[in-house]
Structure 1
């Protein structure tokens, strides 16, 4: 019995050793691996930062070189005699002299083309009251073209004690100076009448298109009255002839007036008329007084 017991104990002891060897674990290496990965990422991040810094410095250096090159090139272009103006052509001007245009523009022969600002030159020329618009064009290397569109006077307009040139809509262009002459009708606009521009422009257009029985050279004066009437005085005959139309219906009434005009001419009574006035749908005639009456 004792021998058996010992063998069992031996087996049990041996079994216990096996159990111990089966549950024994190898030392963990996870900590050492984590540490080396962190070190590698630090070095990689530092490398990328260095590369970015180098690239940034290269870009800045390139920009600086280009800036210096452009500045040098600009100075060469704006100072080289090859681009100095030796031809300046001015067209479209009749009232404004070539000298006044060049003086206002601030340009002249010898000026470098690249030093001139085209939009600024156009604005300076357009500041002249007679200039409606100006176009400036450079033709490299040394030519400049200035095209001017001037305002066209259609009336003399009295304001206070002075006379002014006015355009087709009755807008003031410039004062009339002594010695200036033009065969234009005198325009009188009653105070408070500020909607006569389209009427005046339309009347001039019809005269230019010969849709009126009179010409612009026959018109002595034009008046826009406070009663909203359009009056036209003609020097066509002794004593003159005054035509009166309503501003709001002047085109329709002008057509009716032309019918009466032709009828008076046909009957030989035109010279007796002093006023031909359209009122509503009718046309009235006022004859001039007979001599000795």
Structure 2
């Protein structure tokens, strides 16, 4: 028996071509399997798995399929199909009767309708437009249909309708706000801040507003017009909006404003209405302090300057 030359290597004793273990094996030259370092286990993911969510409908469908197969195998195909059809029909019939019971129950009869946001339209008018009546079943009220009916009225810009269980309906409307009168086809109409007509003047719904006159072929700068109207509402000018009898748009940015009670015409350039507002307020206060305000026939503020013209005696 010959002894093979051995060499020492890291990790144990090795003979030529054969890997030896450096562990005593009881006299047997058993080849050792190199140990593998265990990889650190991955941290459990915090993301929800989709399988758990998807299993629920699968289990329900599998249960229904198993139930159908049970009926078919136990009772036979003909009787099984008959029982399945009877079961499904009973469920459908129960749902129908349940829905009818809810929609005919006096517990869900409308007894209160809350309406907010109406200023031009009265509460009975809004209620009549909505089609909602006391005693209707609240579950049969179509919220979308009620909203569409309300928005057909020219005064209503938007309408939100919701149920207030068990017996209430809430209607929240946003009306179009009139700022002017405009003339179209020989009739006067209420118009919004952009000059858009809303509805014709009515005796039962009369609001005194200045008449807006547009020169032929002149398109006003509606953005500046709206800013000016808002400033007038905030009383940032020396005269109020209620004092204006009419105003005429002579150019995109030029307004001629007639103050009927004062017998005065004001020309205002809107291109720099904030700067011109400061000039007008200063001139107005100066004329008032000197007692000359009532003698002014024309006040012009444009291009950063102001001119006044006295009334002829």
What's the TM-score once normalised by structure 2's chain length? 0.67
1:83 aligns with 2:103: no
- Of 125, 139, 147, the residue aligned with 2:164 is 139
Q: Which has the larger radius of gyration?
A: 1
Q: State the SS of the aligned residue for 1:285.
A: strand
Question: 2: distance between equivalents of 1:219 and 1:140?
Answer: 48
1:134-162 deviation line (CA, Å, top 9, x unaligned): 22221222222223332222222122310
In 1, are the aligned partners of 2:275 and 2:304 still within 8 Å (CA)? no
Segments of structure 2 that go 5 or more residues without pairing to the other structure are 1-64, 73-80
Distance 1:165 1:285, change over 3 A: same
1:193-249 deviation line (CA, Å, top 9, x unaligned): 344432332222212222111112211112111464112111342xx1111122322
Normalized per residue, the structure richer in helix is 1
- Equivalent position of 2:256 in the other structure: 231
What's the TM-score once normalised by structure 1's chain length? 0.71
Q: State the SS of the aligned residue for 2:118.
A: coil
Question: 2: distance between equivalents of 1:63 and 1:196?
Answer: 67
Provide the alpha-carbon RMSD of the alignment: 2.9
- Equivalent position of 1:93 in the other structure: 118
Question: 2: distance between equivalents of 1:225 and 1:125?
Answer: 37
Structure 1 residue 265: Cα displacement: 2.2
In 1, are the aligned partners of 2:130 and 2:147 still within 8 Å (CA)? yes
- Of 90, 108, 130, the residue aligned with 2:155 is 130
Structure 1 residue 60: Cα displacement: 8.6
Which has the higher relative contact order, 1 or 2, with Cα contacts under 8 A spaced 6 or more apart? 1
Structure 1 residue 275: Cα displacement: 1.3
- Equivalent position of 2:240 in the other structure: 215
In 1, are the aligned partners of 2:213 and 2:249 still within 8 Å (CA)? yes
- Equivalent position of 1:118 in the other structure: 143
Aligned residues between the structures: 239
Q: State the SS of the aligned residue for 1:128.
A: coil
1:23-50 deviation line (CA, Å, top 9, x unaligned): xxxxxxxxxxxxxxxxxxxxxxxxxxx9
1:276 aligns with 2:308: no
In 1, are the aligned partners of 2:297 and 2:311 still within 8 Å (CA)? yes
Segments of structure 1 that go 5 or more residues without pairing to the other structure are 1-49
1:170-181 maps to which residues of 2 (within 5 A)? Answer: 170-178=195-203, 180-181=205-206
- Equivalent position of 1:287 in the other structure: 310
In 2, are the aligned partners of 1:191 and 1:226 still within 8 Å (CA)? no
Q: State the SS of the aligned residue for 1:119.
A: helix
In 2, are the aligned partners of 1:193 and 1:228 still within 8 Å (CA)? no
